[in-house]
Structure 1
């Protein structure tokens, strides 16, 4: 596995908001975090929620090395951050039909459920890569060299959208 630095400067999840044991704490209690995934054929962007579940931050980009190696890397992240829930981007066509890449993302989501027994949500990610490029343009990030972080930014957008929808649902209840 190789990783690319995230836009915040932390690599492979190091330096993320975590306590001394690697688990995040809020008012002294351990809080389960949500992990977001932007799944591609060559790379997987990862993002993680803050301890309160309000915001998403980039974690790192996992360069795919085969199913077993990918899941081993994910297992380390799940343990390190106390993750019990995941959101996997589901890249549907604009019509809402399933794309070939959506089938791959759904298979990855099922691997997460089966291997780790965590709750996994599939989340509509149409246009997130386009949005990710716009965010990087707005931040003045040069088009060259985006390959390493674009997947992380897309994962942040997927996870943030999920977190906001969840908060809105809770507010309505």
Structure 2
């Protein structure tokens, strides 16, 4: 039985949430939030792929509640294109990310994480973990 490790991205204009799977590719956990104003995001994702020893990326594609794609989905795909130029042999899996940030926000509220600034620091990586867990569960 072969196992595969994944990284997951919740790509936003300001921040990118990153999550990783365990070595068996079964459980997702939040990893970090990349601040796009302070960090070269493509380069950082490439570094994380190297650190985590994977070329398999799960990326959330934002859709409207009715399933249509908006401008943000185009922006995410543009970012994916940049990643594919930077990282040789990159394998991309797209996942519908509707409501993941809402779910992540709810989880933080249940965990009693108070305040917009505190939530903002972690909500994106939790959303990335939800995207990844959704993907891993679909694969089973």
Scaled by the length of structure 1, the TM-score of the pair is 0.74
Question: For the Cα contact (< 8 Å) 1:109–1:122, is it kept in 2?
Answer: no
Question: For the Cα contact (< 8 Å) 2:15–2:33, is it kept in 1?
Answer: yes
Question: For the Cα contact (< 8 Å) 1:36–1:155, is it kept in 2?
Answer: yes
Matches within 5 A, 1:1-173: 32-65=4-37, 69-116=40-87, 117-144=89-116, 145-167=118-140
Moved beyond 6 Å, runs of 4+: none
Higher relative contact order (CA 8 A, sep 6+): 2
- Unaligned 5+ residue runs, structure 1? 1-28, 168-173
CA RMSD in angstroms, aligned pairs only: 1.8
The structure with the larger Rg is: 1
Structure with greater helix percent: 2
SS at match of 1:76: helix
- Unaligned 5+ residue runs, structure 2? none
SS at match of 2:49: helix
* CA displacement, residues 86-108 of structure 1 (integer Å, 9 cap, x when unaligned): 01100011111111111111111
SS at match of 1:74: helix
* CA displacement, residues 59-91 of structure 1 (integer Å, 9 cap, x when unaligned): 00000048x921111111111110120011000
Report the Cα distance in structure 2 between the residues aligned to 1:85 and 1:142, rounded to whole angstroms: 34
Number of equivalent positions: 137
Scaled by the length of structure 2, the TM-score of the pair is 0.91
